[in-house]
C-alpha cells in the first residue's frame, strides 16, 4: 500500500522566484524507510513542509495515508508525526512538560498520555532528566527530545527532517538505531539528510534531490547500478589550491567519467582505480603537487551523486 503519493509537487516562495521544489513525484510504501538525500538548499525541508500541510504547494498535490494535503489537512495531520529540522521545544519547561503539552495538542490525555510520556522518555534515554528544564540539556539531548515529541500518538508515518545535524556521534548513533527499531515495529519513515552514509545505512529506497528536482530514485542497489562498475578515487593534496588544476590535467585519462575538486580534495569517477592511479600520480608530480592521502571506494551514493550532477554532495 502507498502511504505517501506525491504528484508533481511544485513550490515557489515568491511569484517570480525559482522553484524551490520543481515537479517532484514519488511514493512511500507502507512499512519502508524512504530517504531524501540532497545538499543544503535542495528542497528537502520544503517537501516535508508541503507533505505535513504547513505549506500549500504552488502546483501538484500529494496524498498522505489516503488524505489529500490540500483539502484534508486535518486528517493528514492526524496521520503523521513531524520532527522539524530546527529544534521546536520550550526551553524553560522540563522534558516531561514539553511531552505532555505536545501530546495534549495531538488530543491525547489522561493515563494513556502519562504512560506514553514515560515510554518515550525511556526510549530516548531521558528518564533521569525528565523533570529538568530543557535549557540545561546538551544539544544531543535536545535533539532526542525533539524526536520523541514527533513520535507521540504513534502515527503510522514519521517525517524526520535532518534529525542528526550538529550532534555528538553517540546521539547520532542513538537516533539512527532508534529509527531502524521504530521502522521494524511497522512505522513508515520519511527521512531527509545530506549525509549519504545515513541514507545508505537506513533506507529501503532513496530519492536524490538537487536544486528542487528529484534527479533519481530507487533502492541502493538500483542507484549504484546507475554508476555501473565505476569506482571512486579520492585524493587529498597538501596544496588546497591545486585541486582544480589537477582535475583539469587528468581530463584525458582513459576510463575517467567525472572529476571534481573541493579545495585540496579531488574526486574521480573511474572504471578501475588501479589503472587510473599511476597516471593521476604522474600528472600530480608534473604539476608539483604532493599527495597526502589516497582513497579508493566502491560505488556508493556519493559516486552516484557525482555521476548525476558532476558535483560532490558536500559542495
Partner 1 sequence: MITVLLAMIRNEFRREFAHPISVVFFLLLPLLFTAAVGAGLGDVSGDESPEEYRAQLYVKTGDEGALADAFLQALREVNLTVHVAPTLPEDTFGLEIPAGFSTRLQSGEPVTVTLHTLPVESASQAVEQYVRAAAGRLGGIAQIADLGSAHAEGLRVVTTPEEQRAFYEEVFARTLEASQDPPAVVEVRWPDAVKAADAPAAMASGTEQASAGQLVTWVQITLLGAAEVLVDERLRGTMKRLLVTPAGRATILSGKLLARLMLGLVQMTLLLGGGALIFGVRWGEQPLATALVSVAFALATVGLGMLVATFVRTRGQASSVVVGMAMALAALGGAWYPLEVTPPLYRQIASVLPSTWAMRAYTDLLARGATVADVLPSVAVLLGFGVLFTVVGIWRFQWYE
Ligand X SMILES: Nc1ncnc2c1ncn2[C@@H]1O[C@H](COP(=O)(O)OP(=O)(O)O)[C@@H](O)[C@H]1O
Residues in the chain: 315
- Partner that binds at residue 107, options Mg ion, ligand X, partner 1, none, CB closer than 5 to 8 Å by kind: partner 1
The verdict on 77 binding partner 1 (CB under 8 A) reads yes
By C-alpha distance, which of 86, 48, 315, 313 is closest to 194? 313
The verdict on 149 binding partner 1 (CB under 8 A) reads yes
- Measured CA to CA, the distance from residue 233 to residue 209 in angstroms comes to 23
The verdict on 42 binding ligand X (CB under 6 A) reads yes
Q: Do the beta carbons of residue 98 and residue 152 sit within 8 Å?
A: no
Instruction: Kindly state the smallest distance separating residue 67's Cβ from partner 1, in Å.
Output: 12
- What lies within 8 Å, CB to CB, of 69 at 6+ separation is 50, 51, 53, 57, 61, 62, 63, 76
> Site map for Mg ion, 184-203, x if CB under 5 A?
--------------------
How would you list the strands of the sheet with 19-29, edge to edge? 19-29, 2-12, 59-64, 67-68
Helices and strands (H, E) in the chain, number of each type? 11, 14
Question: 70: which 3 cell numbers?
Answer: 490540500
DSSP string, 251-266: GG-TTEEEEEEETTEE
The verdict on 260 binding Mg ion (CB under 5 A) reads no
Q: How many chain residues touch Mg ion (CB under 5 A)?
A: 3
- Measured CA to CA, the distance from residue 66 to residue 68 in angstroms comes to 7
Residue 24 or 235 with smaller CB distance to ligand X: 24
Residue 16 or 92 with smaller CB distance to partner 1: 92
The verdict on 147 binding partner 1 (CB under 8 A) reads no
- Partner that binds at residue 168, options Mg ion, ligand X, partner 1, none, CB closer than 5 to 8 Å by kind: none
Among 7, 70, 133, 234, binds partner 1 (CB under 8 A): 133
Using DSSP, state whether 236 is helix, strand or coil: strand
Among 12, 25, 31, 54, binds partner 1 (CB under 8 A): 54
The verdict on 45 binding ligand X (CB under 6 A) reads yes
Question: 166: which 3 cell numbers?
Answer: 550538529
Residue 44 or 67 with smaller CB distance to Mg ion: 44
> Site map for Mg ion, 35-54, x if CB under 5 A?
---------xx---------
Instruction: Kindly state the smallest distance separating residue 117's Cβ from ligand X, in Å.
Output: 30
- Partner that binds at residue 52, options partner 1, Mg ion, ligand X, none, CB closer than 5 to 8 Å by kind: partner 1
C-alpha atoms less than 13 angstroms from C-alpha of 261 in its C-beta half-sphere: 17
Which parts of this chain interact with partner 1 (CB under 8 A)?
49, 52-55, 74, 77-78, 80, 82, 84, 86-90, 92-93, 97, 101-102, 104-107, 109, 133, 149
Chain residues binding Mg ion by CB under 5 A are 44-45, 85
Amino acid at each position: 500500500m502507498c502511504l505517501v503519493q506525491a504528484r508533481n509537487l511544485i513550490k515557489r516562495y515568491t511569484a517570480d522566484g525559482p522553484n524551490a521544489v520543481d515537479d517532484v513525484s514519488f511514493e512511500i510504501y507502507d512499512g519502508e524507510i524512504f530517504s531524501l538525500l540532497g545538499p543544503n538548499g535542495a528542497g528537502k525541508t520544503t517537501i516535508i513542509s508541503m507533505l505535513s500541510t504547513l505549506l500549500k504547494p504552488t502546483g501538484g498535490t500529494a496524498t498522505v495515508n489516503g488524505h489529500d494535503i490540500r483539502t484534508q489537512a486535518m486528517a493528514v495531520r492526524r496521520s503523521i508525526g513531524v520532527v522539524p529540522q530546527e529544534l521546536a521545544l520550550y526551553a524553560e519547561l522540563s522534558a516531561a512538560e514539553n511531552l505532555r503539552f505536545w501530546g495534549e495538542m495531538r488530543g491525547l490525555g489522561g493515563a494513556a498520555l502519562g504512560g506514553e510520556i514515560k515510554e518515550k522518555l525511556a526510549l530516548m534515554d531521558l528518564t533521569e532528566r525528565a523533570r529538568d528544564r530543557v535549557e540545561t540539556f546538551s544539544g544531543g539531548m535536545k535533539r532526542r527530545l525533539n524526536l520523541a515529541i514527533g513520535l507521540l500518538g504513534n502515527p503510522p508515518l514519521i517525517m524526520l527532517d535532518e534529525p542528526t545535524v550538529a550532534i555528538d556521534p553517540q546521539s547520532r548513533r542513538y537516533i539512527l538505531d532508534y529509527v531502524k527499531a521504530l521502522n521494524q515495529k511497522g512505522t513508515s519513515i520519511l527521512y531527509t539528510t545530506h549525509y549519504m552514509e545515513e541514507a545508505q545505512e537506513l533506507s529501503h529506497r532513496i530519492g536524490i534531490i538537487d536544486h528542487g528536482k528529484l534527479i533519481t530514485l530507487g533502492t541502493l542497489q538500483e542507484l549504484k547500478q546507475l554508476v555501473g562498475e565505476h569506482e571512486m578515487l579520492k585524493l587529498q593534496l597538501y596544496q588546497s589550491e591545486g585541486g582544480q588544476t589537477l582535475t583539469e590535467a587528468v581530463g584525458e585519462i582513459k576510463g575517467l567519467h567525472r572529476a571534481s575538486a573541493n579545495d585540496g580534495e579531488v574526486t574521480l569517477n573511474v572504471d578501475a582505480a588501479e589503472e587510473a592511479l599511476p597516471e593521476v600520480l604522474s600528472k600530480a608530480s608534473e604539476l608539483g603537487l604532493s599527495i597526502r592521502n589516497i582513497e579508493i571506494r566502491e560505488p556508493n551514493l556519493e559516486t552516484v551523486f557525482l555521476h548525476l550532477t558532476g558535483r560532490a554532495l558536500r559542495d
